[in-house]
Homo-oligomer: A and B are copies of this chain.
Amino acid sequence: MMLVDRSSKEAFPTMGGSNERTDQASTRDRLVEAARQLFLVKGYEATGVAEILREAGVNSGSLYYFFRSKEALLLAVLETYKRLLAPEVLDPVFAAERDPIARVFGVLEGYRQMLTLTQCRMGCPIGNLALEMSEKSEPVRVGIAENFDGWKRAIEQCLIDAGSRLPQGVNRSSLATFILTVMEGGVMQARAHRSLAPFEESVRLLRDYIDRLMQAAASASAGEGTGASKGELGT
């Protein structure tokens, strides 16, 4: 969940080189990383270009050499988030959990960790941007939607992998959307209340719902349908 960009291959140009610094990422990467951090902590509008420059140790001219505008820098940040979803958010959880349902809740646990580590000050970086920026720039809105899509697809795959443990009539795509909904709504309230409770309660009820779905699927496959799982749901 740290979302540190480990994929910066330019990060170690030292072997045999004349550069003495061992952790010097490229100028462009430092700009994107500084912007990512600041947009996460303060939001887009409240972050000044000067601040990004200072944090990255870069001069104005260089920023506008790589990026047309502050907004273009935000688009690069959104690309970074898409790229980091698997290595930073999913893979660690999936490596520790093989059960597809446990994986879903493992991902949610990761967000709980971020809330814990930041005293409920930081949640989902995409959620922040979604509400702040969706109406201000169509390319940005699309970048945000793509991030949501990537997250949702990963969860949806878990639900598909759960196979017959979930009722046939439950649309996996809709349930994945629902899980993202619960995550984002829970994070929002946790931040507003500066308390983990709303997030934890929300996840607990989500778990109860999914437990009930799985019970219904088990009952149905045992030939004793309860009548509760008839018909297509969430389509």
Binding site for B on A (CB under 8 A): 41-43, 45-46, 121, 123, 127-128, 130-132, 134-136, 141, 144-145, 148, 171, 174-175, 177-178, 180-186, 188-189, 191-194, 198, 201-202, 204-206, 208-209, 211-212, 215-216, 226, 228, 233-234
A204 to B206, CA, bound (A): 14
- Name the residue on B nearest A208 (C-beta): B233
Question: Judging by beta carbons under 8 Å apart, are A134 and B202 in contact?
Answer: no
* 6 pairs of A and B residues whose beta carbons are closest in the complex: A181-B185, A185-B185, A45-B45, A184-B185, A181-B202, A174-B201
Question: Judging by beta carbons under 8 Å apart, are B144 and A121 in contact?
Answer: no
A6 to B44, CA, bound (A): 34
Known: A121-B135, A185-B185. A205 touches B233 (CB 8 A): yes
**A178 is contacted by which of B43, B127, B180, B202 (Cβ under 8 Å)?**
B202
Which residues of B are found within 8 Å of A182, using beta-carbon distances? 178, 181-182, 185
Which residues of B are found within 8 Å of A226, using beta-carbon distances? 215, 226
- Name the residue on B nearest A143 (C-beta): B192
A233 to B127, CA, bound (A): 28
Which residues of B are found within 8 Å of A131, using beta-carbon distances? 123, 127-128, 131-132, 188, 191
Chain A interface, DSSP helix/strand/loop, else mixed: helix
A134 to B42, CA, bound (A): 10
- Name the residue on B nearest A191 (C-beta): B134
Known: A135-B41, A234-B204. A130 touches B181 (CB 8 A): no
A42 to B135, CA, bound (A): 8
* Min CB–CB distance A151 → chain B (angstroms): 10
4 more A-B residue pairs beyond the given contacts A130-B191, A177-B202, with a C-beta to C-beta distance below 8 A: A131-B191, A134-B192, A178-B201, A212-B228
